[in-house]
């Protein structure tokens, strides 16, 4: 099976078929989302180097049986954001980076900014910034709660219905 077909199958399994079916022209949807994935892979490789935990089609297919909810959260991030940097951020958080801060600024008819900082295992702080107002939809996937009365983040949630 080609990468486009595998990605399409993963999108359907994780409940993201609407992103495929509403895309115009429909037959270009898998290629479009594969290009988004490729752009995110480029960002991840430039920032963190080559590693076996990059979201390749092969790894995503493996996640279907091993970590379906992480797969779902990532595929939903892939179809939600057009920004490869924010897709990379979602992958890093799903893979274990901890969200340290989220800042959103909105000025009506002027500007928008979403800034997320994350950190993995006490390493360097990772900064992700977007000016695309559509990236606010990523906030719906972030699991923010409180612990001992203080806010904390658990990561990304995939809203999937698995059989």
pLDDT in tens, the chain (163 residues): 699 999 999 999 998 999 999 999 999 999 999 999 999 999 999 999 998 899 999 999 999 999 999 999 999 999 999 999 999 999 999 999 999 999 999 999 999 999 999 999 888 999 999 999 999 999 888 887 888 888 887 777 776 655 4
Question: What would the DSSP string read from start to end of 3-47?
Answer: HHHHHHHHHHHTT-HHHHHTSSSGGGHHHHHHHHHHHHHHHHHHH
Residue 163: the pLDDT is 47
Residue 159: the pLDDT is 62
* Neighbouring residues of 65: CB distance < 8 A, sequence distance ≥ 6: none
The 8-class DSSP code of residue 124 comes to P
Q: Where are the domains of the chain?
A: 3-156
Residue 161: the pLDDT is 56
Say if residue 74 is preceded by a cis peptide, omega within 30 of 0.
Answer: no
Q: How far apart are CA 132 and CA 98, in angstroms?
A: 23
Residue 120: is it exposed, middle or buried by C-beta count within 10 angstroms (0-12/13-18/19+)? middle
């Amino acid at each position: 099976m080609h990468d486009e077909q595998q990605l399409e199958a993963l999108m359907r399994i994780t409940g993201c078929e609407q992103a495929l079916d509403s895309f115009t022209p429909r037959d270009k949807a898998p290629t479009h989302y594969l290009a988004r994935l490729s752009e995110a892979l480029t960002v991840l490789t430039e920032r963190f180097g080559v590693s076996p935990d990059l979201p390749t089609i092969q790894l995503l297919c493996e996640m279907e049986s091993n970590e379906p909810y992480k797969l779902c959260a990532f595929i939903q991030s892939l179809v939600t954001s057009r920004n490869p940097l924010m897709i990379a951020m979602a992958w890093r958080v799903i893979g274990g980076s901890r969200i340290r801060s989220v800042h959103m600024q909105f000025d009506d008819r002027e500007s928008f900014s979403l800034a997320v900082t994350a950190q993995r295992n006490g390493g360097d702080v990772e900064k992700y910034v977007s000016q695309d107002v559509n990236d606010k939809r990523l906030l719906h996937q972030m699991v923010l709660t409180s612990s001992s009365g203080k806010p904390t983040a658990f990561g990304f949630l995939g809203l999937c219905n698995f059989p």
